Structure 1
Amino acid sequence: MTFYRALCAGFKKRRPIGQTIFLTSVFWLVFHCFVLQLWVIQEPLPNSNHPVDDEHVHKEQEILVTSENTLWTYKAMNLTFWKPLKKIEDGDRTGPGEGGHPVTITKGIEEEMKKTFHINKFNLIVSNMVALDRFLPDRRLETCINLDIPPLLPQVSIIIAFHNEAWSTLIRTIQSIKDRTPSSLIKEIILVDDGSDQTHLKTQLDSKVAKMNRNNLPVTLIRMNHWGGLIKARLRGSALAKGKVLVFLDSHCECNHGWLEPLLAEIYRNRTNVVCPVIDQINDKTFSYSKSSLSLGGFNWRLIFKWYGIDTKERRRHGDLTAQPIRSPAMAGGLFAIDREYFYHLGAYDEEMEFWGGENVDLSFRIWQCGGTLLIHPCSHVGHVFRSTTPHDWDGGLSGRNLAITRNLVRAVDVWMDEPWRDFYYLANPGARSINPGNLTRRFKLKESLQCKSFSWYMQNIYYQSDWTLEYRFLGYIRNPETDLCWDTKSLKSSSKLQGWPCHGIGGPQTFMQTYEGYIIQDELRVVVNGQGRALNIHEKRFTNPNNRWLHSTDTLQLVHLGLDLCATVDGNTTSTSPVREVLLTICTDANPNQQWELVAHDYGDIKREW
């Protein structure tokens, strides 16, 4: 009672101040109760704790959990307030590459550029000319700028793995994060040095990281003892991450305005959402920055990632394509955001995979088949330097790299595909049948524990627009017995010339399908006549004439183009010592050995594999 009287006396003496303090306290109490009620959420993912150990990565047997169709969201205590960054107008900057414009190359340094291009497989001289904090215009649509994003979002651990990355591209990646990300959302940036031996990535990088931390940018540098590849480096970084959400970026990126918030908003709404930004293109020669259009991710017969246009069904389902995420059957794999616990719930990366390649397809399958959703958000843009080839030396060179990637894909195929689709993969890629995938026991146990849907469900409901099909007249290689040459497109790219190459029997660019309609196709490409009327090319199906159909005669072995009534012919007019010949259309003549073609179907007999 004495305390109460003293309190009342204090209010009488300082009534205006006391009332203000009292009312303010009540306001904040009510506000926080409202926030807690609004964002208090379900239970966290079951059994998803994982050890933090900087000597090894997470093991699959520790993450086997039961999948449930539950809307997992966050507890309020695991979210943080954030404020949009103030828009900075730097459009008057005129240095090289400013505004995303291409850098003009003078003749004086052209030879030097050619000498250094092989180091990183991009123009190192131009990259060094571009400011580390260059200005990029905000090209988001108004609907994205005004996007409704929750005021509370989970913090992120941004993981950037690199091996012998150029200084300018690595630091520009980090600087773009700092300049275009609300600082309250960054729990940490984790740099994983995957066995680099470049001198600028030693003490110079240590000093730079220390300076970043002094300037309140939380950066951790982890060094691997040797080059183990992207998959193992990312596993090492994710095992040490403290943020609620993992954001994986490559080391030659530039984050654009408002890139992170849309990704987090979708994960906040459902922790089983895995969200990718639109990947803008940074030219590997001029470092121009070009905004990419919104596309779906998929894969071809070899399970190599491809971009595809948004189909009518997805447009109709979605409605607004300007500010809402679209469902994508697959991810490119370099840039994406995922809830940390959900990442381990799904089995993280397959740690038995080597280096990189195929891990994106494997994770895409698991996301969709095991209860998650894979999205691409049109309001999130991150630039990426696209290179035509890797700068890294693999054991065994190109063949060693292809072997490692194929083995990774075989691991994904054997675990996540049903028999008819698995058989199709091995029919289209007979060279993959001999690859030993290693022990798959833990991955099968993971699949069983998560109670995942079948691959047939995935193809019917998610990747229904795929060029994979189980209905065809013929699948194999097209061989001329006279020369032992097979149809070959070599590059598997649209507009590639059709040629005859020595038959190798391992599939790839020598695998063709004839549909029941008579078209001869390869992945999403169709064999057509070029504008001159004699040579043959492959083009995307939507750009081809429906008259480009073929008839194979079992009597004469001729392949007749029905639209022109001409026969496919090995070009005999050559003086070259090369075994490669053109495949042309000529007038059909009886008993011409250069017009005889065997349709050699890939055999089902070798598909059953036991390891």
Structure 2
Amino acid sequence: MLDFLKKKLDSYISANLTKVQVVRLPERMGLIRARLAGAKKASAEVLIFLDSHTEANVNWLPPLLEPIAEDYKTCVCPFIDVVQYETFEYRAQDEGARGAFDWEFYYKRLPLLPEDLEHPTEPFKSPVMAGGLFAISQKFFWDLGGYDEGLDIWGGEQYELSFKIWQCGGQMVDAPCSRVGHIYRKFAPFPNPGRGDFVGKNYKRVAEVWMDEYAEYLYKRKPNYRTLDPGDLTEQKALRKRLKCKPFKWFIENIAFDLPLKYPPVEPDDFGFGEIRSIAAPELCVDSYMKQRDQQIVLKECVKNTKKKGEQNFTLTWHKDIRPAGRSLCWDVSNPDDRAEIVLYPCHGMKGNQYWKYDVENQWFVHGSNPRCLDCDLGNKRLYVTECDEGSKTQKWRFENVNLNSIMNWDNIGPP
């Protein structure tokens, strides 16, 4: 593989891409510093950053440039479509969302605002970029100091740059008419650099420079970050002072104003947790052992107080979804047909296919706003959702630990 990055690559570039220059670093320095090295060589008025595993779609460039031509302090991100890892099939994403984060620094999404929905082809403001695909004026990029050179390898750079753009007088938008496909790889194609928790150090570096008192919410969820050494922050803090950048509270209240509602800094209690045991067959429990994305959950013999293996501890979270304990996969039903099966899918916290409620009186797990109930076929131990029926014993489930106070206050907790 590395052979193709040397003479063969140089020969191909010189024969086919005459305006392209390959920049080589003396040693492995990671994504962030590699991008900085490329930016320092660039001479155009606008810098465009893309990953190597992307495919730019038709007419992708003009929509990225127009907002910058109108205001050079604007950073513009394309819509990121999906290139299937196994087949290279190109698939459009949804109609967009505003970038955000939770308080462990996982990337999240916020719904579009009503004014954005009225003009679906126009760029819309977004608090945080999804990753590393964007266009920015060279002048503005370097006015902001570029990427923080103290960030190592990868991780946190999209938050650092996003916060810096907004807090230091710029703005960031997503351009729906610019589409770039991205391969979401199922594994890292490169070895661990052996530099300890470099992502955690990067996150702490971003938090210490840009998040003010809000950094404490990150540390409460990741207490090990408190003891990490983020390196020398003198230059970054001086940059923030020199540019007269706004406080992070301003960013939260004015740019990401709905983020605390969807991802509260202090999370409310969950609605319940523990095993979900069938009333009709008390020896059987819902189980997701060894199940991954797009795989169905099933009924299995209950494992509590036995030596049997299983994954039968679930949480009905304040997001109003159900997750195996300690995992970020949720029960998901996308099929509207009767007896639709339940699969695991990455949690999005936006209800929809992942909206569940526990009906304490009927002992039902109710799915969706067009409600159907969790049911089962005891013969083949299959789970599915179907029309709720007060006379059906197979729709009744004993939920091990129910927070009755939270259940009674359902409408005032989590997503509306």
Query: How does the TM-score come out when normalised to structure 2?
Result: 0.68
String of CA shifts for 1:241-264, please: whole Å, max 9, x gaps.
Answer: 111110111112222221111111
In structure 2, C-alpha distance between the alignment counterparts of 1:376 and 1:448, rounded to whole Å: 28
Amino acid at match of 2:118: G
**CA displacement, residues 167-221 of structure 1 (integer Å, 9 cap, x when unaligned):** xxxxxxxxxxxxxxxxxxxxxxxxxxxxxxx1122111222222236xxx31212
Write out per-residue CA displacement over residues 218-241 of structure 1, whole angstroms, 9 at most, x where no aligned residue. Answer: 121211111111111111111121
**Cα root mean square deviation, aligned:** 4.3
| 1:264 pairs with 2:65 | yes
**Does structure 1 conserve the Cα–Cα contact (< 8 Å) formed by 2:125 and 2:171?**
yes
The within-5 A match list for 1:73-92 is none
Tell me the matched-pair count. Answer: 338
Match in the other structure for 2:28:
227
For the pair shown, the structure with the greater C-alpha radius of gyration is 1
Which of 338, 341, 351 is the equivalent residue of 2:139?
Answer: 341
2:264 corresponds in structure 1 to 469
Within 2, Cα distance between the matches of 1:343 and 1:496?
Answer: 46
Partner SS state of residue 222, structure 1: coil
**Further displaced range: 526-535 or 445-454:** 526-535
List 4+ stretches of structure 1 deviating above 3 A. Answer: 470-475, 477-480, 488-501, 512-515, 517-541, 544-549, 585-588, 595-598
Preserved CA contact (<8 Å) 1:547 1:563: no
Cα shift at 1:468: 2.4
Per the alignment, residue 249 of structure 2 pairs with 456
Higher helix residue share: 1
Change (3 A) 1:587 1:437: same
Residues 26-45 of structure 1 correspond to what in structure 2 (within 5 A)?
A: none
Q: CA deviation at 1:409?
A: 1.2
Correspondence 1:202 to 2:3: no
Asked whether 1:406 is paired with 2:200, we answer yes
> Partner amino acid for 1:452?
C
Q: Secondary structure at the match of 1:382?
A: strand
The answer as to 2:218 corresponding to 1:425 is yes
Q: Secondary structure at the match of 1:389?
A: coil
Q: TM-score normalized by structure 1?
A: 0.48
**Residue in structure 2 matching 1:391, options 164, 171, 189:** 189
Instruction: Pick the aligned partner of 1:284 from 82, 85, 105.
Output: 85
Q: One-letter code of the match for 2:6? A: K
* 2:23 matches 1:212: no
8 Å CA contact 1:298, 1:306 repeated in 2: yes
* Structure 2 SS opposite 1:278: strand
Q: Is the 8 A contact 2:296 2:343 kept in 1?
A: no
Partner residue, 1:303: 105
Distance 1:325 1:473, change over 3 A: closer
* Equivalences for residues 156-555 of structure 1 within 5 A: 198-212=2-16, 217-296=18-97, 297-308=99-110, 310-311=111-112, 314-316=113-115, 319-322=118-121, 324-396=122-194, 403-419=197-213, 421-466=214-259, 467-474=262-269, 540-543=349-352, 547-548=357-358
**CA displacement at 1:564 relative to structure 2:** 2.5
Structure 2 vs 1, CA of residues 256 and 519 (structure 1 numbering), >3 Å: closer, same or farther?
Answer: closer
> Structure 1 residue 331: deviation in Å?
0.8
**Counterpart code for 1:211:** A
3-state SS, counterpart of residue 22 of structure 2: strand
Residues in 1 aligned to 2:289 and 2:217: alpha-carbon distance in whole angstroms: 20
Alignment CA distance shift 1:519-1:257 (3 Å): closer
How much has 1:458 moved relative to structure 2?
A: 1.6
| Compared CA separation, residues 395 and 321, structure 1 to 2 (3 A) | same
> What letter matches 1:542 in structure 2?
K
Identity %: 32
Q: Secondary structure at the match of 2:198?
A: helix
Which amino acid in 1 is paired with 2:104? R
Equivalents in 2 of 1:514, 1:361: separation in Å?
26
* One-letter amino acid of the counterpart of residue 66, structure 2: A
Distance in 2 (CA, whole Å) between partners of 1:247 and 1:452 is 24
Give the unaligned 5+ runs of structure 2.
Answer: 276-287, 305-312, 334-338, 366-395, 404-416
Alignment check: 8 A CA contact 1:370 1:450 kept: yes
Deviation at 1:437, TM superposition (A): 1.2
- Give the Å deviation of 1:497: 7.2
Q: Distance in 1 between matches of 2:96 and 2:41?
A: 33
Q: For 1:533 and 1:348, how far apart are their aligned partners in 2?
A: 48
- Equivalent residue for 1:119? none
Unpaired runs of at least 5, structure 1: 1-163, 165-197, 481-487, 502-509, 550-560, 567-584, 589-594, 599-611
Q: CA deviation digits over 1:281-323, x for unaligned, max 9?
A: 1111111112223322222332122345x33xx232563112x
Distance 1:366 1:293, change over 3 A: same
